[in-house]
Amino acid sequence: MTMTDFEVDVLASGSKGNSTLIRAGQTAILIDAGISCRRIVQGLKDCGLEPEDLSGVFLTHEHRDHIAGLDVFARHYSTVPIFANERTWAQLPVRRLLPRPQVRVIPRSCSMGNLRIEPFRIPHDAADPVGYEIFHGDEKCTYLTDCGIITKTVELAAEGAAVMVLEANHDEDMLRHGPYPPALQKRILGKEGHLSNRTAGQFLTSLAEPPAEVFLAHLSEKNNTPDIAYQTVRDVLRECPRTREIQLYVAQQQEMVSNVR
């Protein structure tokens, strides 16, 4: 069993597509739809769910690796509401193809079944990117990827979470000596880019109440490996008594990773 009320199933995460199922009690939501509709549906079935069991799909931002399967999924399963903020919706051509009742602009906070979902702003080079705090009773799950730097808002969203999906995008040495041109390296390392493995680990050690479980997510295909991400973050966590016992999972691009035992 998971250490928390939250069952987290990362259907896929990485440079080529991202989608995560989060459940607590009788409520299930999907964060992002960056893989094919077929893979999303199969992933849900593998978790014992049908697409219609979802209370909603919540988008973080409009980049393709987070929305690639949205149009087909939304048209096939029109009873499942799709949530995003106004500026993100404005960047999505698919919004013109969906029935208006299916498209919902997420407020500062909304309740879905026994979950409360609150978006928070993150620094990334998109229209209005967000992470999510998901509450179930006294517990919280925080979802944070595609984040250039740790802001006070991000810190507050992570503090006290029981479980967290956290970006560990790249190894800095691999990035600097890898195939990416200097301009792309600069973007990734910049304030609106992506968190490195070491930054992710240091962020966790900075928290007064760090999570019990962490999924390392959105690993770069060219500038990271699962083993390097895990070992780098684990080495940082060992330096702090509060974080030595964190259960780490490494999300994968081609297979589901779950905290359900």
| 260 found inside a domain | no
Evaluate whether residue 129 is within a structural domain.
yes
Burial readout 237-254 (b: 16 or more C-beta within 10 A, e: otherwise): beebeebeebebbbbbbe
Provide the number of structural domains found in the chain. Answer: 1
What is the value of pTM for the model shown?
0.95
Does residue 1 belong to any structural domain of this protein?
no
51-79: per-residue pLDDT in tens? 999 999 999 999 999 999 999 999 899 99
Cα 109 to its chain centre, rounded Å, is 18
Structural domain includes residue 259? no
pLDDT 10s digits, 132-184: 999 999 999 999 999 999 999 999 999 999 999 999 999 999 999 999 999 99
Q: What is the pLDDT of residue 4?
A: 83
CATH code at position 47: 3.60.15.10
Residue 225 lies in domain: 7-254
pLDDT in tens, 196-247: 999 999 999 999 999 999 999 999 999 999 999 999 999 999 999 999 999 9
Report the pLDDT value the prediction gives residue 3, as an integer from 0 to 100. 72
Is residue 216 domain-resident? Answer: yes
